A = this chain, B = another copy of it.
Amino acid sequence: MTEKFEKHFKELVKKVEQYLSASIKEENNAQGEIYKAMNYSLLAGGKRLRPVLTLATAELLGADCDEVMPFACALEMIHTHSLIHDDLPALDNDDLRRGRPTCHKAFGEAVALLAGDALLNKAFEVMAEAAAKMNDPAKGARIMQKVGNASGTEGMMGGQVADLRCEGKDITEDQLRYMYAKKTGALLKAPFLIAIEAAGKTGTDEERKLLEYSETIGLAFQIKDDVLDVVGDAKLLGKEPGRDAADGKTTFASLYGVAKCEKILEEMTVKATSIAKTFGEKGEFLREMAEYLLERNY
């Protein structure tokens, strides 16, 4: 990882966190707890990968980063919504997230359920407010539609149901890829869809290349997660590894073993970096991002 990449990554994270911190004001009213619970999870750190990818791709394509920011941060709200609901007893029943008690452990199940709902809702509130003020509000509405499709039944939420139905079953690699493309892939592709639409680059060769890049890192991200659940360190992960095996989940690690997964990951990283390189100097950040995602240990 070059110093330049690290510095720019940190700059983007800082901008994102400033925006997120200002998004949800804690009100001292009868429902004050919902704001606390939302911010507890939203401002708990994390890689901020989705908004960072959105901003970096907007930069690459010459889109207006200020205009893109609300949509970038909406992705982080939707991602956090999904983590809160995933952790609930009805789904994964997790006690720890990023080294801290999960939202329902800290605020109770009822408030966590509603705080998760409210983060999803807030994402669309933020996007609608931004779209209404854009020079081209139809563009804003199209971006919202793409984000909504990414989080909905043919994206993240559908993928979660597919995941539930795969538990304890032997599934094929094709079925696993289908489920991953929706469950985590869709929301990792959304940053590119936002930036491409914002830059007016739909239907271009740049779109085609960026979407191939996004699908590659999206699947690699999930395979890396599968590997970390086998060999990862509890402290770095902020949660106990070994959950997939305990839940009887088919993963790339269970299908092929860790060594073969590492090899697949390297190949996918080469593919992603090659695509990034076709953008020349402008593609440097995405090239390093693919390498960073391969090397991460949490």
A interface residues, Cβ below 8 angstroms from B: 24, 27, 29-31, 33-35, 38, 81, 85, 88-91, 109-114, 116-118, 120-122, 124-125, 128-129, 131-132, 134, 137-138, 140-142, 144-145, 148-149, 151-154, 157-162, 164-166, 175, 178-179, 182
A152 to B137, CA, bound (A): 22
* CB nearest neighbor in B for A135: B138
- The residue that A88 contacts in the complex, of B30, B90, B179, with Cβ under 8 A, is B90
- The residue that A90 contacts in the complex, of B113, B121, B158, B166, with Cβ under 8 A, is B113
Please state the number of chain copies in the assembly: 2
Q: Once the chains bind, are B31 and A118 in contact (CB under 8 Å)?
A: no
A91-B113, A137-B141 known; A153 vs B85 contact (CB < 8 Å): no
A31-B162, A121-B148, A153-B31 known; A88 vs B111 contact (CB < 8 Å): no
Q: Once the chains bind, are B121 and A179 in contact (CB under 8 Å)?
A: no
Contacts of A134 in B (CB 8 A): 138
Instruction: State the Cβ distance, A257 to closest chain B Cβ, in Å.
Output: 25
- The residue that A137 contacts in the complex, of B125, B138, B165, with Cβ under 8 A, is B138
Top-8 shortest CB links A-B: A125-B148, A31-B158, A132-B141, A30-B162, A90-B109, A128-B144, A131-B141, A137-B138
Instruction: State the Cβ distance, A71 to closest chain B Cβ, in Å.
Output: 12
* CB nearest neighbor in B for A38: B153
Q: Once the chains bind, are B129 and A113 in contact (CB under 8 Å)?
A: no
Q: Once the chains bind, are B149 and A125 in contact (CB under 8 Å)?
A: yes
Contacts of A145 in B (CB 8 A): 125, 128-129, 132
